[in-house]
Structure 1
Amino acid sequence: MTSAFIGIGSNLGESRRIVAEAVASLGGLPQSRLLRSSAQYLTPPWGVTEQPPFINSVVEIDTDLPPAELLSALLALEREAGRLRDGTRWGPRALDLDVLLYGDEIICDAGLRVPHPHLAQRAFVLLPLAEIAPERSVPGFGRVTDLLAGVDAAGCRRLDLP
């Protein structure tokens, strides 16, 4: 089994519920099991700033799914939640699932780049990732806690359980 970290985000609809349901769905992926999940974080939008804030979380799963099959399963979960991928980058969405890390692999395929290419720049990923794996090394970038120290997380806040 390979340890994979998945980033979860939502800013349309009932985002807290959507993120919680995504965590449960990730635990039910074939040949996979949920190991840990972070709290939810309220975070400002990144990239396109004229949109509602996001709810973000990160989970760690153990999986026997190869990276491409894992990505395919994540895209199916996004579609089930109502996400339409129309080519718009960084816009509002009901559910966004990203493979952040897949073991210690570096993957540069047309549809999948791991570690996620913007992971080291995004507080909304690093905060929940640091909660569940602070000492984790991100191939090519460094340790999660060191990466978090290098970003502005002032607009992000951890949410209590609903």
Structure 2
Amino acid sequence: MTAIYLSLGSNVERHKHIAAALDALALHFGELIISPVYESKSIGFDGRNFFNLVVGANTSLSIAELSELLKKIEDDNGRKRNGPKFSPRTLDIDILTYGDFVGVDSGIELPRAEITKNAFVLLPLAMIAPQVKHPQLQQTYAELWQGYDQESQLLWAIDFEWSGKQISALT
């Protein structure tokens, strides 16, 4: 089994699509490690705010098989692939890491560059895997978050319930 971390985001019917993605991921992977859900402004285009979180799981799927599964989950949730890169999304699921793999497999570059570029990826990852090291940089996600310019991209935790559990709460 390989440990994976996935980034989830939505800015169209956000609660519905994030919950549906978590349902599908739990069905395929069993127990999930789920970060708090954060809200942030759209980056790269004017649009509604996004909900973002990171999920950890274990898989026996290859990177190509995992990518196909994630695309199917996105498509099942109304994802449109013919629009501009930076546009509203019903659901976006990205592979952040696949074990300690570094490189390109099936056209997917890992670890994903967004880990160190976007607060909405790095903070949730640091919340659920603070002592895990970035496979390429060999710094923990907590260390990377501590060194990140946290004022550059604002995000805030939101209340979020899934499957009868509070996975994210304002305190």
Q: TM-score, normalised by structure 1?
A: 0.90
1:25 corresponding residue in structure 2: 24
Q: Deviations over 1:70-102 (max 9, x none)?
A: 000000000000001126212211000000010
1:40 and 2:37 are equivalent in the alignment: yes
Paired AA for residue 130 in structure 2: P
Paired AA for residue 27 in structure 2: G
Calculate the aligned-residue CA RMSD, in Å: 1.6
C-alpha spacing 1:17/1:39, structure 2 compared with 1 (3 Å): farther
8 Å CA contact 1:33, 1:63 repeated in 2: no
Shift of 1:35: 3.0
Aligned equivalents of 1:8, 1:42: Cα separation in 2: 12
8 Å CA contact 1:121, 1:151 repeated in 2: no
Q: Deviations over 1:98-129 (max 9, x none)?
A: 00010011131353111112211110011111
2:2 corresponding residue in structure 1: 2
Task: State the secondary structure of the residue aligned to 1:138.
Answer: coil
Aligned equivalents of 1:44, 1:124: Cα separation in 2: 10
Q: TM-score, normalised by structure 2?
A: 0.85
1:76 and 2:75 are equivalent in the alignment: no
Aligned length: 158
Q: Which moved more, 1:76-85 or 1:33-42?
A: 33-42
Aligned equivalents of 1:102, 1:110: Cα separation in 2: 13
Q: Which runs of 5+ in 2 are unaligned?
A: 162-171
Q: Which runs of 5+ in 1 are unaligned?
A: none
- Give runs of ≥4 in structure 1 deviating > 6 Å: none
